Amino acid sequence: MLFGGHPRGAHNSIIDVSGIAIGNVSVSDSSRDVHTGVTAIVHERLTRGKTLPAGFHCGNGYGKFVGSTQVQELGTIETPMLLTSTLSTFRVADALISWLQRRERRSSVNPVVGEINDSWLSPGADRPIEEAHVFSALDGADDGALAVGAVGAGTGACALGFKSGIGSASRLIEVRGEQRTVGALVLSNMTGQLRIGGRVVTPESLQLPAAGPLSEVGSCVTVVAVDFPASAVELTRFARRAVFGIGRAGAGYSHGSGDYALAFSADPTVANPLSETDLDRIFTAVLDCVEESVIGVFWPHRQSLSAPAAPHTPCRFGTYRSKGRRDDGADTWGARRDGAPRDRLFLRGAGSSDARVARW
C-alpha cells in the first residue's frame, strides 16, 4: 500500500535506522488467559551510560510513560526503551535498571517504559512479566528482520476493532543534502475506526465481531528514530507528528486513551538547525511511517485468540497491468514507474461491489 511518495528503507522498519535493534518476548498461556509481552528498543550507546538526543509528546495522558518528564526536561534518553502491559510497567522498569546496573553501575538511572492495557485479551494476567522476560528481550535485541503483529508487547493488543500489535515502517529522505532514514515503531491498542485510503473499514462491515473493549479506552505508544543530528526541540516536533499520524489511520483519541510518542536521534552530533524544507520532509515521513505502521499490522496475522484480525479469507492479493479505465469510469491501477506490476489489496465488505481498498 502506498503511504506517501518517499521510498521505504531496506526492511521498511525502524531497524533501518543504523544502530537500532529490537527484542521481543511474548508471554502466552491460554490456560491462564494470559497474552502479553515486552518489547525492547535498543541502541548500543544507551546500554553503556551514554545518552542520545530525544523529544517526547503526550497527546493524551491517560496512561503511564515512565521516565518521560526527564526526557522532556533534559532533551535526552539514557536507557533502552521498553514497551509492555499496564500492570507490568513498574516491574519492567525495575528489571531494566537491574540489567543496566549489572553492565555498569550508576548512581542514577532514568528508565523509559511505555505501556498499553491489554487486559481484554489477557484478563488472567496479574503482572506476568518477570525480570527474566525483560533480560531476554534486551539480550536478544538484534537488527535483523523485525517481527510485527502479535509479538512482544503487541501480543495482547487490539486496535480500531481488530487484533493489532507491533507495527513498523521507514522512509528514505533527503536531509541536509544527504539521504537519511526516518523509522517508526507503533504499539497500537486504541479505539476508533480503521481508515484505509479514506475508506472506513469496521468489523461489522466484514461481518466480524469487534476486538477490544466496548468502552472508549485504549492506548498507542509510538517511537520514532532518525539517523541524522537533531535537537531536542526538533525531535519533540517529530514526536508530535507521530501522535498526529495515528489519527490518519482512524485513532479516536478517546478520554481513556494514553497516546504518547518519543522521538530520538541515533546520531549524538550537535548540528545546525534543520531547514524548513528538511523539516517538512521529515514531518511527512513521520506521518507516513506511523500511518503505515498502524495499518500494516492488521494484515500479517490470521484470526487468533478471541480477537479477529482483518481476515485473510475476504482479502486477496493480485498483480495487474492496466492501460486505461474501468467500464464504470473509475481509474484502474497501472504499473509502477519502474515497469513492475502494481500489487492490489482487495477487501470485500458485505454487499460491497467495489472491492478496491488500497494498492501495495
Tens-binned pLDDT, residue by residue, of the chain (360 aa): 679 999 999 999 999 999 999 999 999 998 899 999 999 999 999 999 999 999 999 999 999 999 999 999 999 999 999 999 999 999 999 999 999 999 999 999 999 999 999 999 999 878 999 999 999 999 999 998 899 999 999 999 999 999 999 999 999 999 999 999 999 999 999 999 999 988 999 999 988 888 887 676 779 999 999 999 999 999 999 999 999 999 999 999 999 999 999 999 999 999 899 999 999 999 999 999 999 999 998 864 433 444 555 544 433 333 333 334 334 343 333 333 344 433 333 333 333 333 333 322
Q: How far apart are CA 39 and CA 50, in angstroms?
A: 21
Q: What is the DSSP pairing of strand 217-226 with strand 256-265?
A: parallel
Contact by Cβ (8 Å): 301, 165: yes
Question: The pTM is what?
Answer: 0.84
Strand partners for 183: 170, 225
Q: Is 74 exposed, middle or buried (0-12, 13-18, 19+ CB in 10 A)?
A: middle
> What is residue 309's predicted lDDT score, i.e. its pLDDT?
57
Describe the chain by its helix, strand, coil percentages, rounded to 5: 25, 35, 40
> What is residue 227's predicted lDDT score, i.e. its pLDDT?
98
Kindly report, residue by residue over 332-346, the tens digit of the pLDDT: 333 333 444 333 333
> What is residue 213's predicted lDDT score, i.e. its pLDDT?
78
Cell (9 digits) for 32? 491462564
> What is residue 357's predicted lDDT score, i.e. its pLDDT?
31
Q: What DSSP assignment string belongs to 229-282?
A: ---HHHHHHHHHHHHHHHHHTTB---TEEEEEEEEEES-----PPPPHHHHHHH
* Region of residue 11 (left: phi > 0; alpha: psi -120 to 50; beta: else): alpha
Contact by Cβ (8 Å): 143, 15: yes
3-state SS assignment for residue 354: coil
Distance between the two ends of the chain, CA-based, in angstroms? 3
Contact by Cβ (8 Å): 318, 333: no
3-state SS assignment for residue 134: helix
